[in-house]
A and B are shown apart, each in its own frame.
Chain A
Amino acid sequence: DTAVSQTPKYLVTQMGNDKSIKCEQNLGHDTMYWYKQDSKKFLKIMFSYNNKELIINETVPNRFSPKSPDKAHLNLHINSLELGDSAVYFCASSQGGQGNTEAFFGQGTRLTVV
């Protein structure tokens, strides 16, 4: 009964392909996030959704499109993958979009674009 689960754990794909990463949380939280950790290990927020509404978009290219079908899910779709998209992507959730509570992270999806 993992709190925040992402699939797949590993993803290897060719440049130009379109891929999706799925995230689900069973904590009843109303806010979900996507973070990207690059090869230098810097963790940076990409998106945040609160009650299915986008509240943060940190100047991420349009090729990245998050979709939140309900409060428990936040999926990340990436079009026309580029070599620079290779990274580990973490999904997270918290209760409330005002930073009052701790965030729970998934185990990450390691994306490799070749």
Chain B
Amino acid sequence: AIQLTQSPSSVSASLGDRITITCRSSQGIRDDLNWYQQKPGKAPKLLIYASSTLQGGVPSRFSGSGSGTDFTLTISNLQPEDFATYYCLQDFNYPHTFGQGTKLEIK
């Protein structure tokens, strides 16, 4: 199974900051990489698919990039509602796999 390694596992930031989360795949997955946001007690929410395409309704302060094995999620101008846990997911092949998650906390 393809392994996804996310870093950092947690990050503290202030309102208005810009943060970047990385996701590295154990093998090439083209651009078959999605990003999800999860808040406590809620189901994950799709933010970005195909590495860099913003899902409808997601604010433009979220952006994604990368292909092959290295991917990034960037959140600019952090807002209070952005503090959550973020996961990458590869759907290049089965079994689909998630990164271990990055918890974004308020500094």
State yes or no: do A and B come from one complex.
no
